[in-house]
Amino acid sequence: MKAIAQQKVTRAEELRELARRSTGGKFLASSVQSQKYLKQAQALEKEAQRYQSVLGSL
Domain boundaries, the chain: 2-57
Rounded to whole angstroms, the Cα distance separating 53 from 58 reads 9
| pLDDT of 1 strictly over 90 | no
CB atoms within 10 A of CB 56: 7
Convert the pLDDT of each residue in 7-39 to its tens digit: 999 999 999 999 988 667 788 888 899 999 999
pTM equals 0.79
